[in-house]
Structure 1
Amino acid sequence: MPDPPSSLRVLSLNCWGLKFLAKWRNERLTEIGNQIAAANPPPDIVGLQECWTQQDYNSIRDKTKHLLPYGKFYYSGIFGGGLVILSRWPIEESNMVQYPLNGRPAAVHRGDWFVGKGVASARIRMGERRRDIVEVFCTHLHAPYETEPHDSYICHRTAQAWEIAKLMRGAAERGHLVIGLGDFNMVPLSLAHRIIETQSPVRDVWRILHPDSSLGAAKDKVEKLRGLPMPDAQFNIDKNGTTCDSAFNSWRWNEAHKKRLAKGENVTIDPSVPDPNAKRLDYIFFSSGEHHDASGERTPEWTLKEASVGMMMRHPTLHCSLSDHFSIEATLIRNPSPIAAPSNGTLALPETYLAIETYDEILATITKYTARERTQRRLRMGHFGFQFLLTVGCFVAVWWSPHNYVSFILMFVSSLGLSVGVLEGLMGGLFVGSELRALREFEWEVRNTRERAIKREDSEQ
Structure 2
Amino acid sequence: MVDSRPSRPSTLRIVSLNCWGLKYLAKYRNERLEEIGIQLASAVPQPDIVGLQECWTQQDYNSIREKTRHLLPYGKFYHSGIFGGGLVILSRWPIEESSMVQYPLNGRPAAFYRGDWFVGKGVACARIRTGPESRDLVEVFCTHLHAPYETEPFDSYLCHRTAQAWEIAKLMRGAAERGHLVIGMGDFNMVPLSLAHRIIEAHSPVRDVWRMLHPESSIGAAKDLVEKKRGLPTPTAEFNLATNGTTCDSVLNTWRWNEAHKKRLAKGENVVIENSVLDPSAKRLDYIFFSSGPHRGATTGELSSEWTLECANVGMTARHPRLYCSLSDHFSVEATLTRHISNPAKTSDDKGQCIMSETCLPIDTYDEILSIIFAYSQREQWQRHLRMAHLLFQLVLSISCLVAVWWSPHNYVSFILMFVSTIGLSVGVVDGLMGGLFVSSELRALKEFEWEVGNVKTRAIDAIASSRTLENGG
TM-score tier (shorter): over 0.9
Q: Residues 130 and 208 from structure 1, CA distance in 2 versus in 1: closer, same or farther, beyond 3 angstroms? A: same
Q: 1:71 — aligned with what?
A: 75
State the distance in 2 between where 1:291 and 1:368 align: 44
* Of 99, 103, 106, the match for 2:107: 103
Which stretch of the first structure deviates more once superposed, 102-111 or 344-353? 344-353
Q: 1:308 — aligned with what?
A: 313
Find out whether 1:357 has 2:364 as its counterpart.
Answer: yes
Find out whether 1:389 has 2:396 as its counterpart.
Answer: yes
Q: 1:133 — aligned with what?
A: 137
* Of 172, 177, 186, the match for 2:176: 172
The answer as to whether partners of 1:243 and 1:325 remain within 8 angstroms in 2 is yes
Q: 2:230 — aligned with what?
A: 226
Find out whether 1:401 has 2:408 as its counterpart.
Answer: yes
Shift of the alpha carbon at 1:172? 0.1
* Of 334, 337, 356, the match for 1:332: 337
Tell me the SS of whatever aligns to 1:285: strand
The answer as to whether partners of 2:237 and 2:251 remain within 8 angstroms in 1 is yes
Q: 2:287 — aligned with what?
A: 283
Q: Structure 1: which 4+ aligned runs deviate by more than 2 Å? A: 292-300, 336-343, 345-348
Shift of the alpha carbon at 1:348? 3.9
State the distance in 2 between where 1:272 and 1:88 align: 37
Amino acid paired to 1:332: L
Shift of the alpha carbon at 1:342? 5.2
Q: 2:9 — aligned with what?
A: 5
Tell me the SS of whatever aligns to 1:335: strand
The answer as to whether partners of 2:244 and 2:284 remain within 8 angstroms in 1 is yes
State the distance in 2 between where 1:415 and 1:5 align: 65
Q: TM-score, normalised by structure 1?
A: 0.97
State the distance in 2 between where 1:341 and 1:149 align: 41
Shift of the alpha carbon at 1:131? 1.3
Which stretch of the first structure deviates more once superposed, 263-272 or 312-321? 263-272
Q: 2:472 — aligned with what?
A: none
The answer as to whether partners of 1:291 and 1:342 remain within 8 angstroms in 2 is no
The answer as to whether partners of 1:178 and 1:289 remain within 8 angstroms in 2 is no
Shift of the alpha carbon at 1:433? 0.2
Find out whether 1:256 has 2:263 as its counterpart.
Answer: no
Residue ranges of structure 2 left out of the alignment (5+ in a row): 469-474
* Of 141, 149, 164, the match for 2:153: 149
Tell me the SS of whatever aligns to 2:244: coil
Shift of the alpha carbon at 1:347? 4.0
State the distance in 1 between where 2:465 and 2:134 align: 38
* Of 34, 37, 61, the match for 2:38: 34
* Of 297, 317, 320, the match for 2:322: 317
Residue ranges of structure 1 left out of the alignment (5+ in a row): none
Q: 1:421 — aligned with what?
A: 428
State the distance in 1 between where 2:252 and 2:412 align: 60
State the distance in 2 between where 1:394 and 1:298 align: 79
Find out whether 1:377 has 2:380 as its counterpart.
Answer: no
Q: 1:80 — aligned with what?
A: 84
Tell me the SS of whatever aligns to 2:309: strand
Shift of the alpha carbon at 1:343? 3.6
State the distance in 2 between where 1:336 and 1:148 align: 43
Percent identity of the aligned residues? 75
Amino acid paired to 2:93: W
State the distance in 2 between where 1:87 and 1:398 align: 65
Shift of the alpha carbon at 1:61? 0.0
Find out whether 1:55 has 2:59 as its counterpart.
Answer: yes
The answer as to whether partners of 2:348 and 2:355 remain within 8 angstroms in 1 is no
State the distance in 2 between where 1:363 and 1:327 align: 34
State the distance in 1 between where 2:403 and 2:77 align: 54
Shift of the alpha carbon at 1:383? 0.2
Tell me the SS of whatever aligns to 2:284: coil
Q: 1:23 — aligned with what?
A: 27
Cα shift readout 1:402-432 (whole Å, capped 9, x = no counterpart): 2222111111110000000000000000000
Q: Residues 290 and 385 from structure 1, CA distance in 2 versus in 1: closer, same or farther, beyond 3 angstroms? A: farther
Shift of the alpha carbon at 1:115? 0.1
State the distance in 1 between where 2:303 and 2:102 align: 33
Cα shift readout 1:242-279 (whole Å, capped 9, x = no counterpart): 00000110001112211111111111111110100000
State the distance in 1 between where 2:265 and 2:31 align: 16
Find out whether 1:94 has 2:98 as its counterpart.
Answer: yes
Q: Residues 93 and 299 from structure 1, CA distance in 2 versus in 1: closer, same or farther, beyond 3 angstroms? A: closer
Tell me the SS of whatever aligns to 2:75: strand
The answer as to whether partners of 1:142 and 1:185 remain within 8 angstroms in 2 is yes
Q: 2:440 — aligned with what?
A: 433
State the distance in 1 between where 2:294 and 2:411 align: 79
Tell me the SS of whatever aligns to 1:9: strand
State the distance in 2 between where 1:428 and 1:438 align: 15
Q: 2:471 — aligned with what?
A: none
Tell me the SS of whatever aligns to 1:180: strand
Tell me the SS of whatever aligns to 2:338: strand
The answer as to whether partners of 1:293 and 1:338 remain within 8 angstroms in 2 is no
The answer as to whether partners of 1:232 and 1:271 remain within 8 angstroms in 2 is yes
Shift of the alpha carbon at 1:300? 7.2
Cα shift readout 1:9-48 (whole Å, capped 9, x = no counterpart): 0000000000000000000000000000000000000000
Cα shift readout 1:336-388 (whole Å, capped 9, x = no counterpart): 35899754254441110000000000000000000000000000000000000
State the distance in 2 between where 1:375 and 1:40 align: 54
CA RMSD of aligned residues (A): 1.7
